[in-house]
Amino acid sequence: MDATFKPQTAKDVEVAVKWAAAEDQPLEIVGQASKRSLGRPVQTAHVLNLSKLSGIDSYEPAELVLTVKAGTPIAEIEKLVDENGQELSFEPMDYGPLLNVDAGQGTVGGVLAANLSGPRRLKAGAARDHILGMEAVSGRGEIFNSGGKVVKNVTGYDLPRALCGAFGTLAVATTVTLKVNPKPETSATFVLSGLGAARGINALCKAMGSSAEVSGAAHLPAGIDGDISRTLLRLEGFETSVDYRFKTLEDLLKSYGPVTRIEEQDSRKLWQTVRDVRPFAGVDNPVWRISVAPTVGPKLVELLEKELKINAFFDWSGGLIWLMCLDGLVNDQHIRAAVDSVGGGHATLVRAVPSIRSSVAVFQPQPAPLAALSKRLKEQFDPKGVLNPGRLVMGV
Amino acid sequence: MTAIAMPAPDPEVLARRQDILKALQAIVPGEGVIHDEREMRAYETDALTAYRQLPLIVVLPETVEQVSKILKYCHQNDVKVVPRGAGTSLSGGALPLEDGVLLSMMKFNRVLDIDYDNRAVVVQPGVTNLGITRAVEHEGFYYAPDPSSQIACSIGGNIAENSGGVHCLKYGLTTNNVLGLEMVLITGEVIRLGGKHLDSEGYDLLALMTGSEGLLGVVTEVTVRILQKPETARALLIGFPSSEDGGRCVADIIAAGIIPGGMEMMDKPAIHAAEDFVHAGYPRDVEALLIVELDGPEKEVDFLIGRVEEIAKANKASHIRISQNEEERMTFWAGRKAAFPAVGRISPDYLCMDGTIPRRELPRVLSRMRELSDKHGLGVANVFHAGDGNLHPLILYDANKPGELDAAEAFGADILRLCVEVGGVLTGEHGVGIEKRDLMTDMFSEEDLKQQQRVKCAFDEKHLLNPGKVFPVLHRCAELGKMHVHKGQLPFPDIPRF
């Protein structure tokens, strides 16, 4: 019997997972299923859908702390904190456009399970840097709490952080506590035009190493969201400070050519385009997300352009490369070899049809001792392998 | 030894001491193995000095290969290992075991790579926290987490404890500033996590290792993020007639969208002790003193100083001073930074506690703390990372008076239970170690602790790395792994389906 369970309480989740473990019936864990096509396909008869486990438990703006049920829509959370002059400063990306599903979907549990972030990752950290506490159900079907509801805590192992990015393969989060931050008063984008990737990334790294407190650093080559290349630096904060730091950047980067300024409203739209990888939306070609040391980004793309037909652009000061294969193939061996040749990093196949995602390594393959340790960790949380089996690695 | 008991030493291991010594000497030649009682005394305690224990043997490896061989040997021969950095833990994390090898990482003291373009520095774990900043400050960079022991504490120890500091509300704890690690498992296997790139996928073992208090692996290399120093920093020194006013001022600053680089509060006993010691010009007639430091671009700092001053006035501040130059800013900090030794002057001994509370609970916690002070018959002075709610009550006692250490520990335990009761936690930055080990059950259920210990089982099934720390009861991994399985029909009449 195939079933979709929609638990409304942590206790319901516990019952469902306990049953799954007892009966050896693996579960696919979803929220709104907006990122279902990220990672390897999970093939289970049953689905545990957390979208009904939703709601704000407590929100105390003055404490910078928010506690919510894991199935709460991320859009609802962003709206709530925005109304209080705050934000999730890791700026979680919306995979909807890239994965060809509706924009604006997804739950906070999904954001954490995939450890999503956006351009501000560089300055503010990823989702995992903003989690403070978690109630979750392990694959053993047992509820446990870890972390706390205060912004500074080192009591016990940092399980909440470690469970971020685990794609629901270790435990099912039921309640999460996040750190929120004040929303900047205003923002603007500093733009250099017409630079090649190497020179553009060089400018970004220089700016990141300055005291200008840049909160977004991207390079869009010609053909990506415009006819000429643009090198973008975002400044956020109090208005006097943004203007002052804009001048700092002008002085620092004057040898890189003429500068233009994009004001707040257009700046927001532009960074949303970068964040959600909109230049690669609306088509089906395979897309890779590659994380390397920023300075080697241009070299990596240059290497791959010689061998493959690709489009690529850079976020995170050059360290995050969004790469689309125009030949329709995933080219995983080329891409992994190129990443290794520039000093290593992580390449993840974020868009491909399920048959491909089942047959190639979607995530960066790990050396044997690390893979073995990860497997042992999985067994400690989920000894029967009932939570999202195979989502990260085949057979685990 | 006082109240906190360590696991009983294994006589069988003690009897093998000579064999173990020979094996270690074969791995680390020369002076890298210490077994003379007098020389081992240097390692008998950390900064929780009430507890002392000589280790079985001390070993100071110099290469990753040696670390790997030592751990492999200890794993194969069931010998416990206590890893140690600079030994500045305030929670007893590096307290030796009588039947355990003490593994000092302080010969790993080299800076390996400075990469300004990628804002990353690769160091060995024995490099001090301040040593990283020293290596890059001539280019205007620094490493942000700044525990007060930063001149002495090692970055490897910072990883183990997930160290914080005065600036962590704005710049994060160690865990938010580490990019990569190389570590050795108890089996001797060498594992690399992260690097100069961000957010490696797969399980976030970097997060697990940071703050694991030496229970999961031995760090042999660390990659950290460095930042450009803020253009300028200025501070306000603000006195309040009550801690409620001070607490409200802190909340209002944050509600105004301002995250100060540092925001520290002191209560009256701490203000007086500090002022008597360093004469920083602190007002004596206030109940709470707040130091607010704003850092960043000059224009921004000047603007925010004005905003904070307005907020302070609106919250009944009785004294406000604003630093006009670097010297004055340092004077404001001098008293706070000397608070611990200042308290050391007025009391022969003190215990430094480390709970975190939701900030709104501050007045209630301070008043309950005064009641507890009467109950236990011991004084207490409070310094407080006000921005993030991390309290450092300093309990005053005299170790030479019979029973006072026990009373101080009981007082400390009551304070930490109070922190948990009001929605806080046992430790904000000092770690659990042995000091708060037996209080873990006040914060976590048995199930919570069991799941944490299962993590340990994935790394160190035999419980050989730093046993006796963090967890009050050691469960065998086989026992932790058991599942109570109840097979049966779908028990879901209540769960909406489809």
Q: Is the ipTM of this complex over 0.90?
A: yes
Interface of B with A in 332-391 (CB under 8 A): 356-360, 385, 388-390
Query: Hey, what are A82's tokens?
Result: 């925005």
Burial of B327 (0-12, 13-18, 19+ CB in 10 A): exposed
Asked if A369 lies within 8 A of B487 by C-beta distance, the reply is no
Of B196, B208, B452, the CB nearest to A293: B196
Q: Helices (H) and strands (E) in chain A — how many of each?
A: 12, 18
* Chain B residues close to A60, C-beta within 8 Å: 358, 360
Nearest CA in chain A to B424: A150
Asked if A16 lies within 8 A of B495 by C-beta distance, the reply is yes
Question: Virtual CA dihedral for A383, B459, B184, B80, nearest 10 degrees?
Answer: -150
Amino acid B410: pLDDT: 96
Which amino acid, one-letter code, is at B336?
A: R
Distance (Å, whole) CA A100 – CA A352: 11
Amino acid B473: pLDDT: 87
Nearest to B28, CA basis, from B87, B108, B94: B108
Interface of B with A in 160-189 (CB under 8 A): 161-162, 164, 168-169, 172-173, 175-176, 185, 189
Number of CB atoms found within 10 A of residue B345's CB: 12
Distance (Å, whole) CA B226 – CA B472: 37
Nearest to B175, CA basis, from B125, B210, B208, B204: B210
Amino acid B489: pLDDT: 55
Element of type H or E holding A193: strand A186-193
Amino acid B240: pLDDT: 98
Asked if B200 lies within 8 A of A6 by C-beta distance, the reply is no
Q: What residues contact residue B367 under an 8 Å CB cut-off, 6+ apart?
A: none
φ/ψ region of B463 (left if φ > 0, alpha if ψ in -120 to 50, else beta) reads left
Which amino acid, one-letter code, is at A10?
A: A
Quick: pLDDT tens for B204-263.
999 999 999 999 999 999 999 999 999 999 999 999 999 999 999 999 999 899 999 999
Number of CB atoms found within 10 A of residue A153's CB: 30
* Chain A residues close to B455, C-beta within 8 Å: 157, 159, 162, 377, 380
Q: What residues contact residue B268 under an 8 Å CB cut-off, 6+ apart?
A: B286, B287, B288
A211 CA: distance to closest CA in chain B (Å): 6
Of A125, A129, A380, the CB nearest to B458: A380
Task: Name the maximum alpha-carbon separation found in chain B.
Answer: 74
Amino acid B498: pLDDT: 42
Number of CB atoms found within 10 A of residue B486's CB: 12
Nearest CA in chain A to B196: A293
Residues of chain B with pLDDT below 70 are 1-3, 485-498
Distance (Å, whole) CA B260 – CA B308: 10
Task: Say yes or no: B421 contacts chain A, CB-CB below 8 A.
Answer: no
**A84 DSSP 8-state letter:** T
Asked if B197 lies within 8 A of A367 by C-beta distance, the reply is no
Asked if B299 lies within 8 A of A241 by C-beta distance, the reply is yes
CB distance B430 to B94 below 8 Å: no
Question: Virtual CA dihedral for B360, B365, B368, B374, nearest 10 degrees?
Answer: -150
Of A182, A241, A373, the CB nearest to B259: A182
Residues of chain A with pLDDT below 50 are none
Amino acid B1: pLDDT: 40
Asked if A366 lies within 8 A of B202 by C-beta distance, the reply is yes
| Residue/partner pairs of A253-259 with CB below 8 Å, 24 or more apart | A253/A190, A253/A192, A253/A203, A253/A206, A253/A207, A256/A192, A256/A195, A256/A199, A256/A203, A256/A231, A257/A192, A257/A193, A257/A194, A257/A195, A258/A192, A258/A193, A259/A190, A259/A191, A259/A192
Amino acid A299: pLDDT: 98
Task: Say yes or no: B425 contacts chain A, CB-CB below 8 A.
Answer: yes
Amino acid A182: pLDDT: 95
Distance (Å, whole) CA A144 – CA A134: 8
* Chain B residues close to A143, C-beta within 8 Å: 447
Asked if B195 lies within 8 A of A345 by C-beta distance, the reply is yes
Quick: pLDDT tens for A101-140.
999 999 999 999 999 999 999 999 999 999 999 999 999 9
